[in-house]
Amino acid sequence: MSSSVLATAVSVSPVFRQQLEEVRARYFSRNPDLWPVFRDPAMARIIDVRKSHTPPAERLGIYPDGPALLGQLRAEDHVPDESLAPGALHERLVFAAALSKAWEDPCSVENVVTMPCDPAIHGAMIGALANPNLVYREYSEMAEELERTVVRQIANLVGYDPEEATGIFTQGGTFCNLYGYLFGIRKTMPESLHLGLEYGQDYRMINSQGGHYSNTTNLSLLGVNLAKKTIRIQVTDDHDIDLEDLESQLTACFRLGCVVPTIMLTMGTTDTFGVDRVKPVHDLSQRLCKRFGVTTPPHIHVDAAVGWPLIFFLDYDFDANPLEIDGLTLEGLRANVDRFRELRYADSFTVDFQKWGYVPYTSSLVMVKHRDSMKALEHDPENFSYFEKDIQGQTHLQSTIECSRGAAGLFGAYSAMQYLGKRGYRIMIANGLQNANYLRQRLSETKGACVIAPKNHGPSVAFRLYDPARVKDPVAELARDKELSADPAWRRRIQQHNAYHREVFLRRGKRGLYTNWVQFATHTNYDETDKWEPIPGEKAVFFNPLTDPCHIDAFLARLHG
């Protein structure tokens, strides 16, 4: 697509802009007249400090007595003897909150994190006030009904049967993915509940080289031999899973009678928003299981922690386009939504409200297609002797990893969805995608800049910078970087490029946009032995509801330092 076409496609319509400003004002303004919770003196002071949007390196210096308060905080090591009067402002408490990472700064686009919306904070505080423990009905009462309500709502959005599906709120996306592995392990190797992973048949866990690092750390936590029991599937140039390599590896496992408990997929990789296909993996698994007589197929879990909000667009009228989303973003949305329609073929998936859902940490939900999957995780009833037996069966008590499941994340998620609705979420998601497309467009017109995985029209934009004095065609140069070679000249050239970009990144600092350095922004091609190497770069993730093209322009003005 030419630059002129891109420029037209990324042009935001006045109608969309008006709707965006309305959502910002109502749900992201910290306005105490709309949300009285922000009228609390401590919260009001914190908000006042943070709304200055001061660059991180300068914030301590402009905060009243900032260095002295930091010194006091670092020296504090005893609980005070006397009580503090209710309502009194505790200076160090306010200081620590005010100078914590300011995700509401429109320049903050480092990663898949963003400011929570006002109704989510409102809801989370209500949940904290009620303080239910979702692990057990007697300790949660009506909060359990709220959890079931959210599960039904997500089930309906994605295409699960809401009467058959279930789900549990848990402590972050890593725990959700841990559940995904456990479902597969307990279903395919039920003896592992008491006898461990090394009992019985040989097995292999399958995930993608492009997946989140928790895909590996969770396996280590479970006691899996990472070197011998894990198969990491290759990724394509678009950073989604290579279906041909997956078929080859899965066929080899089944041919040898090797159990495959879980296939871990990703819909929305952290750095480049690669989106794995689910239906082809489901169909492949079914076909190979039938061919090799495998009676319990692999459990397919999808880490959709980053990308899940795109399910709000599954029933959007793309032809009428009532929100007047710009052309390029609409095109990318349509392509991504086609893939997210396949999420219903997953056996379970991860939902992180704390990311693109605009809910405070922690708020994560593992969705399960068939509630019978929870039965596979159940421990013996005698282990729960101090809980009423009649009530145990009404919850997932015996199947959960945690003994405590707080409900602030649940209340925050419910509140956010009720107040924002599909329309509010669609506007905020489209705004982020429009910003991402604008940065891609501008980078394509900038000397020495190359967008990584440019076909991925998600909120994450990864790119690589080259010295314009030495490299005239950065796209061609990235292609040469990817040609993995034993030639020392190749190694020297790519190291020079890495050093240039890293030096520019550090010299530029946090200006315009606060981006992140990524050691594995992309990768070399695979050689004849399937070896590859990571290639570093820089990324910006456009979840921030307050970021505008003007912030991107300011960043690009200093791009090369």
Confidence of residue 456 (pLDDT cuts 50, 70, 90): very high
- pLDDT for 75-104, tens place per residue? 999 999 999 999 899 999 999 999 999 999
Model pTM score: 0.95
Confidence of residue 385 (pLDDT cuts 50, 70, 90): low
Pairing of strands 460-465, 534-541: antiparallel
Rounded to 5 degrees, what angle do the CA atoms 290, 294, 299 make? 100
The answer, yes or no, to whether residue 258 has pLDDT greater than 60, is yes
Domain boundaries, the chain: 31-102, 125-426, 431-556
- pLDDT for 162-181, tens place per residue? 999 999 999 999 999 999 99
pLDDT score for 386: 72
| 3-state helix/strand/coil string of 451-502 | EECCCCCCCEEEEEECCCCCCCCHHHHHHHHCCCCCCHHHHHHHHHHHHHHH
Main-chain dihedrals φ then ψ at residue 467, nearest 5 degrees: -65, 115
- Short-list 223, 231, 182, 224, CA closest to 206: 231
Main-chain dihedrals φ then ψ at residue 381, nearest 5 degrees: -60, -30
Distance of CA 466 to the CA centre of its chain: 29
DSSP structure class, residue 383? G
The answer, yes or no, to whether residue 264 has pLDDT greater than 80, is yes
Fold observed for domain 125-426: Aspartate Aminotransferase; domain 2 (3.40.640)
- pLDDT for 505-546, tens place per residue? 999 998 889 999 999 999 999 999 999 999 999 999 999 999
- pLDDT for 314-352, tens place per residue? 999 999 999 999 999 999 999 999 999 999 999 999 999
Please report the DSSP string for 185-229 in residue order.
HHHH-TTHHHH-TTSSS-B-EEEETTS-THHHHHHHHTT--HHHH
pLDDT score for 455: 92
The answer, yes or no, to whether residue 561 has pLDDT greater than 90, is no
**Tokens (6 digits) for 77:** 């090591």
The answer, yes or no, to whether residue 244 has pLDDT greater than 50, is yes
Question: What is the Cα gyration radius of the chain?
Answer: 25
Cβ-contact 532, 522 below 8 angstroms: no
**Assign residue 68 a region: left if phi > 0, alpha if psi is -120 to 50, beta otherwise?**
alpha
Main-chain dihedrals φ then ψ at residue 299, nearest 5 degrees: -80, 125
Place of tokens 């040469």: 480
CA distances (Å), origin 73, targets 7, 90, 479: 50, 12, 50
- Short-list 9, 6, 5, CA closest to 330: 9
- pLDDT for 181-230, tens place per residue? 999 999 999 999 999 998 878 999 999 999 999 999 999 999 999 999 99
d(CA 179, CA 109): 29
Distance of CA 512 to the CA centre of its chain: 23
- pLDDT for 356-368, tens place per residue? 999 999 999 999 9
